[in-house]
Amino acid sequence: MAPVTFLEAVRQAIFEEMERDPAVVLLGEDVNVYGGAFKVTEGLLERFGWERVIDTPISESAIVGAACGMSYLGLRPIAEMQFIDFIVCAFNQITNFVAKGHYLWGAPAPMVIRGPSGGGVHGGPFHSANPETYFVHTPGLKVVYPSTPYDAKGLLKAAVRDNNPVLFFEHKFLYRRIKEEIPAGDYTVPLGKAVVRREGRDLTILSYAAMMHTSLEAADALAKEGVEAEVIDLRTLLPLDEETILQSVKKTNKCLVVHEDTKTGGIAGEIAAVLCEKAFGDLDGPVLRVTALDTPVPYAPPLEEYFLPNAQKVFNAAKELARY
């Protein structure tokens, strides 16, 4: 198999799930003839027809609401947000309607809401968002944010087959920048499981999505200075794989969390709290965070670069942590 891009892996997952199960349908803005703003859904209309690949008005609440209604019939809709920034237009529909149904009245909503997220591509304040933590705070949802083509495909397939609403974030910086050979044929990657990307004994770096690659880059530089960082890719943020996190921190005794989301209220704070509650005695130093600034995502390249975490910032924080 030739290596495929992250974007192609997502497309393959949708294609194969629609091929496998007639209950899988797709809806969103410009997903049909145009094939989606990023061409993720290109070719699906030709293969699966108008009933299964549905163009919608610019109405995110209606997209999510309609997908939820379809899921009540046992269908497994995949709803695309053209940019994940627009998901907040459907915030009420997702957090109050979709997420609470199973708890309150036993209504499972097997649906996926997916879309391109993240910065680093000069998309400006409304096309670069990382809104994952709004939804991590919502019981009833699952939140997935992969970093590799292999995971993107396997996790998306698992999300489609899950009986719960899954929010699936695709970092658009990775769409065409990374390639990976992935196995032919069907496979899934389980939701809720983190993975160790690089083993190390000195400190643990927890990350996900584009920042996972940044963290690996920093880990290579750290290794040259004799600091062996263990890098863990969280992959799913809700539910969080506490077991893998705790196992690593009990070994390294130090933890740095890296994410592209802004700092205050980001997932790093939650992880720090989990470590305080469950691994306080194992910690040799403070849990540190490398995140974006607490500002909107700025547009000009030097501003965005300053706003985003990068390998240097991760390296610096890790060096500081290694001193403990």
Partner 1 sequence: MSMQPTRQQHHDLYYYMKLNRAVEDTMVKLFRQNKIVGGLYSSLGQEAISVGTAYALERRDWMAPMIRNIGALLVKGVPPRDIFTQHMAKYTSPTRGKDGTSHFGDLENLHIVSPISMLGDLIPVMAGVAIGARYLGQKIVTMTWIGDGGSSTGVFHEGLNFAAVQKAPFVLILENNQWAYSTPVLRQAPIENLADRAKAYGIDSYVVDGNDVVAVYATAKEAVERARAGKGPILIEAKTMRMLGHAQHDPAEYVPKEMRAFWESRDPITLHEELLFSEKLLDAKGKQEIEAKIEALLEKDRELAENSPLPPPELAAEGVYCEGCHKIEPKWERPVAEVMPPKASTKPAWPATGYATGHGAARVAAQFIPAGADASGNGAGPLVRATSKGVALSRGKKKPIKPAASRRPGR
Pick 188 or 247: Cβ nearer partner 1: 188
Letters for 143-182 (x = contact with partner 1 by CB under 8 A, - = none) are --------------------xx------------------
Pick 59 or 295: Cβ nearer partner 1: 59
- Residue 96 is encoded by which pair of tokens? 């109050």
Pick 42 or 180: Cβ nearer partner 1: 42
Please identify which residue in 50, 187, 306, 324 interacts with partner 1, judged by CB under 8 A.
50
Complete DSSP assignment for 174-218: TTTT-EE---SS-----TT--EEEE--SSEEEEE-THHHHHHHHH
- How many separate helices (H) and strands (E) can be counted in the chain? 12, 14
Letters for 113-142 (x = contact with partner 1 by CB under 8 A, - = none) are --------------------------xx-x
Q: Does 23 bind partner 1 (CB under 8 A)?
A: yes
Going 244 to 146 to 121 to 119, the CA torsion angle's sign is negative
Q: How many amino acids of this chain bind partner 1 (CB under 8 A)?
A: 54
Task: Please identify every residue annotated as catalytic.
Answer: 127
Q: Which uninterrupted H or E stretch holds 10?
A: helix 6-20
Q: Does 36 bind partner 1 (CB under 8 A)?
A: no
Pick 25 or 290: Cβ nearer partner 1: 25
Shortest distance in whole angstroms from residue 59 CB to partner 1? 4
Q: Does 70 bind partner 1 (CB under 8 A)?
A: yes
- Site stretch for partner 1 (CB under 8 A), options 70-78, 241-249, 265-273, 308-316: 70-78
- Dihedral of the alpha carbons of 203, 208, 210, 211, in degrees to the nearest 10: -30
Q: Does 276 bind partner 1 (CB under 8 A)?
A: no
Question: What's the order of all strands across the beta sheet hosting 288-292?
Answer: 195-198, 229-233, 203-207, 255-262, 288-292
Pick 37 or 234: Cβ nearer partner 1: 37
Shortest distance in whole angstroms from residue 49 CB to partner 1? 4
Using only C-alpha atoms, the chain has a radius of gyration, in whole angstroms, of 19
Complete DSSP assignment for 149-172: HHHHHHHHHHHHHSSS-EEEEEET
Q: Give the contacts of 130 (CB within 8 A, at least 6 positions apart).
A: 117, 118, 119, 169, 209, 259, 260, 261, 262, 292
Residues at the interface with partner 1 (CB under 8 A): 19, 22-23, 25, 32-33, 45-52, 54, 56-70, 72-75, 77, 92-93, 96-97, 100-108, 110, 139-140, 142, 163-164
